[in-house]
Amino acid sequence: MPITYRIDYERRIVLARGYGIFTDEDAFNYQREVWSGKDISGFNELIDMTHVSEIAAPSTQRIQDLASVAALMDLVSAPSRFAIVAPSDRTYALARAYRAYRDREPRSTKDVGVFRTLAEAFAYLGIKDAPVLPELPPTAAGA
């Protein structure tokens, strides 16, 4: 799975970074692996897609399905925020489609924002001091 992540319990946030060739199945696997844990329910989330070199074309239905699966994992009593950093035009467009589906999902309690830079995402999440992002594999750092 070309996603690395770490959980910052002090700040109550999941920090993730995508890299390399990214597929819709990678997104589903990340969602299930990370968000099935009850100890992070209600945490904010940031995923940085800066190092993704290619996104395998997901169908509109798969984006909608991912939004639905993610909404099912939201904690109703603890609304949170999800910032997606998407500097490339393609990634930005796909992230905005995901946000639109999340917004229409009645079970969703997570506000989704799509940004071009980490600074914008940190501001949206109310983070003043940049947290340590998860390490990328050596081969992905130059992607």
Q: Examine the pLDDT at 143 and tell me if it is beyond 60.
A: no
Residue 142 forms part of a structural domain: no
Residue 133 forms part of a structural domain: no
Q: Examine the pLDDT at 52 and tell me if it is beyond 90.
A: yes
- Which token pair is 142? 């130059």
pTM of the model: 0.92
Residue 95 forms part of a structural domain: yes
Mean pLDDT of 107-122: 96
SS3 state at 123: helix
Q: Examine the pLDDT at 141 and tell me if it is beyond 70.
A: no
Total domains present in the chain: 1
Residue 140 forms part of a structural domain: no
Q: What percent of the chain has pLDDT over 90?
A: 76
Compute the half-sphere exposure of residue 31: CA atoms within 13 Å on the CB side of its CA: 18
CATH number of domain containing 82: 3.30.750.24
- Per-residue pLDDT at 126: 94
Residue range of the domain that includes 45: 3-125
Band (81; pLDDT cuts 50, 70, 90): very high
Listed in sequence order, the residues at least 6 apart from 18 whose beta carbon sits closer than 8 Å to its beta carbon are 2, 3, 26, 47, 48, 49, 51, 52
Give the helix, strand, coil percentages of the chain, each rounded to 5. 35, 30, 35
- Per-residue pLDDT at 37: 80
CA dist 81 and 122 (Å) reads 11
Answer yes or no: are the C-beta atoms of 131 and 12 closer than 8 Å. no
* pLDDT tens figures, 18-43: 999 999 999 999 999 999 887 888 89
